[in-house]
């Protein structure tokens, strides 16, 4: 730590430095930093306080200068901050706030801005009520490209820091979204809902706010309200405010498609099976969520009384196009459908395929998560980040004890992998900062700020990855449990058939008059999948239909 100078020397040096730097900023690119420093040391010691207004004017001018000058001025403020006594809380808070702005405008240093903003509030909570706090927020918005998820994370944290202050009172377009998101990330869904509902239509984040609002409603078990809010996301055309903010059309479409998928899921849970099909089947083959829609609609077909179409959906979802997907539920659906149609041999075959497809992956997932749960928090985080790195680089996860299908599942989790990419970029930026020739105090503070943000983001992405794996494990174990029960049912049914106790399915109409049937079960081994010119899921209703009549007895037949 540098030796602190007496206050009577520090303050006039600061004021003179700010005035001198103002001259340097206005005098052109060849002005001498050495001359500026020499002039600063020769100023009078009459002043006793930092001229906060003048400092912020100089900061504003500095943000319009080149990178070298901004860094030089930031170095000066870091030096001044080191020499400012701790009891001068307001001055220190404004210095931290000014450094937050200067670093936000610096590509390599920008993610340390959050640390300095948080320090400003910690030193003097009243900083969030100043007009300068509004200026800091606006500079963060101007400096950070919102298409990068790591910047979105930073802004949500900044909104949390500035919560309850002047920014929240004055900035009604973007601040509510970021504050609401910060509550959502913390699983405070009621608080998130109260904020997100205030995001206006003129906000470029209105669509995303509605999506988070709908998801919060789901978590609060307000399903009907959630469906209506998801529908807003689906129905809303691209707005001029989204276009002005250059939000990619791809992002808008993916959010819309995910809202459609969530509506379908909610309708299924509410036993509105035919209604859920309308949403599942509205996603086309170009959608990022097409596979999920294809696989899940099989259950809606089944519960709606169309097992032939349900078999077609399951057939398509297990085709070679999706050979890298780990989805135990689809194989269990096959076995369930065949059992329901009283094709017991096919049902047993379906369960055999279920075991072949899932057992190894599921068991390795159990072992992996069991081992991770026993690790200390730091090692746990390290292990999950190593897994994501392997997935990101396309490496085999076997060295970590996981199957390839599980790794592929992670790679398809767009939000997870985007956040990991942001974390990785932040880590690389921190390594670049370590090589910069910065003043010692400035370098230490910036690296500390970057490391804090990197560590927090790394923890969050590792937790997200672990939660995702726990979800896959839960799906696998649920399907495995149900498969065991189904196996017993098949054995009992076959035994009953031998005894002449024929089973029946009552009150269901299986197939209509469809003409396009695919004889998938009779395909010969000589036919390669690549030679099939038809889409696996394509007919007049965009899905296969299996002509699989029920072999169950007719309960209405005369005995």
Tens-place pLDDT, residues 120-167:
999 999 999 999 999 999 999 999 887 788 899 999 999 999 999 999
Instruction: Identify the residue whose tokens are 């985007």.
Output: 418
Q: 3-state DSSP helix/strand/coil percent for the chain, to nearest 5? A: 70, 0, 30
Q: Note the pLDDT of residue 521.
A: 25
Strands in 216-340 per DSSP E: none
DSSP string across 151-162 = HHHHHHHHHHHT
Q: What is the reported pTM?
A: 0.80
Taking CA atoms, 154 is separated from 13, 139, 180, 321, 528, in Å, by: 34, 13, 14, 38, 50
pLDDT recorded at residue 491: 79
- pLDDT score, position 499: 62
Return the pLDDT at 544. Answer: 62
According to the model, what pLDDT value does residue 509 have?
A: 31
- What is the rounded distance in angstroms from the CA atom of residue 337 to the CA atom of residue 327? 16
pLDDT attached to residue 39: 33
Residue 455: how many CA atoms within 13 Å on its side-chain side?
10
Burial of 558 (0-12, 13-18, 19+ CB in 10 A): exposed
- pLDDT of 506 reads 38
pLDDT of residue 223: 93
Averages of pLDDT over runs of 10 residues in the chain (559 residues) are: 34 38 35 32 46 92 92 92 91 96 94 96 96 96 86 94 95 95 92 94 94 96 94 92 84 92 94 91 87 92 88 85 86 90 88 86 92 93 93 84 88 88 92 91 94 93 93 89 83 70 41 28 32 41 65 54
Angle (CA) 125-128-132 rounded to 5° is 125
């Amino acid at each position: 730590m540098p030796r602190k100078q007496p206050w009577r020397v520090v303050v006039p040096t600061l004021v003179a430095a700010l005035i001198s730097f103002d001259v340097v900023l206005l005098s052109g690119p060849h002005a001498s930093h050495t001359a500026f420093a020499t002039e600063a040391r020769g100023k009078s010691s009459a002043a006793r306080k930092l001229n906060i207004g003048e400092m912020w004017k100089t900061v504003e001018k500095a943000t319009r200068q080149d990178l070298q000058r901004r860094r030089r001025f930031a170095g000066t403020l870091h030096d001044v901050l080191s020499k400012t006594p701790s009891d001068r809380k307001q001055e220190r808070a404004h210095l931290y706030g000014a450094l937050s702005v200067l670093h936000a405008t610096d590509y390599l240093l920008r993610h340390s801005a959050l640390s300095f903003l948080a320090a400003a509030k910690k030193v003097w909570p009243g900083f969030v009520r100043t007009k300068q706090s509004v200026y800091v927020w606006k500079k963060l918005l101007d400096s950070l490209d919102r298409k990068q998820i790591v910047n979105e994370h930073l802004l949500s944290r900044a909104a949390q820091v500035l919560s309850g202050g002047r920014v929240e009172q004055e900035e009604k377009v973007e601040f509510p979204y970021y504050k609401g998101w910060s509550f959502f990330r913390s699983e405070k869904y009621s608080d998130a809902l109260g904020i997100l509902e205030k995001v206006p239509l003129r906000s470029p984040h209105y669509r995303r706010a509605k999506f988070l609002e709908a998801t919060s409603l789901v978590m609060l078990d307000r399903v009907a309200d959630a469906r209506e809010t998801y529908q807003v996301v689906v129905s809303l055309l691209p707005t001029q405010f989204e276009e002005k903010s250059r939000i990619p059309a791809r992002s808008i479409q993916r959010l819309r498609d995910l809202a459609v998928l969530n509506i379908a899921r909610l309708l299924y849970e509410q036993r509105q099976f035919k209604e859920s099909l309308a949403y599942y089947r509205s996603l086309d083959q170009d959608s990022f969520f097409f596979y999920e829609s294809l696989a899940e609609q099989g259950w809606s077909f089944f519960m709606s009384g169309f097992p032939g179409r349900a078999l077609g959906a399951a057939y398509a979802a297990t085709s070679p196009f999706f050979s890298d997907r780990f989805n135990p539920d689809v194989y269990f659906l096959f076995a369930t459908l065949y059992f329901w149609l009283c094709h017991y041999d096919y049902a047993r075959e379906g369960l055999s395929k279920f075991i072949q497809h899932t057992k190894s992956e599921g068991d390795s997932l159990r072992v992996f998560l069991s081992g991770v749960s026993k690790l200390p928090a730091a090692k746990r985080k390290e292990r999950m980040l190593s897994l994501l790195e392997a997935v990101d680089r396309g490496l085999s996860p076997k060295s970590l004890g996981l199957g390839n299908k599980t790794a592929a599942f992670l790679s398809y989790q767009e939000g997870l992998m985007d956040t990991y990419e942001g974390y990785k970029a932040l880590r690389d930026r921190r390594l670049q900062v370590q090589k910069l020739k910065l003043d010692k105090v400035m370098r230490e503070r910036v690296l500390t700020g970057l490391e804090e943000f990197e560590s927090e983001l790394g923890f969050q992405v590792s937790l997200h990855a672990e939660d995702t794996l726990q979800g896959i494990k839960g799906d696998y174990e649920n399907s495995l449990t149900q498969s065991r029960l189904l196996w017993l049912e098949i054995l009992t049914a076959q035994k009953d058939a031998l005894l002449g106790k024929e089973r029946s399915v009552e009150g269901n109409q299986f197939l209509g008059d469809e003409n396009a049937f695919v004889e998938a079960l009779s395909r010969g081994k000589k036919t390669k999948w690549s030679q099939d010119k038809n889409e696996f899921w394509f007919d007049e209703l965009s899905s296969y239909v299996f002509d699989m009549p029920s072999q169950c007895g007719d309960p209405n037949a005369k005995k």
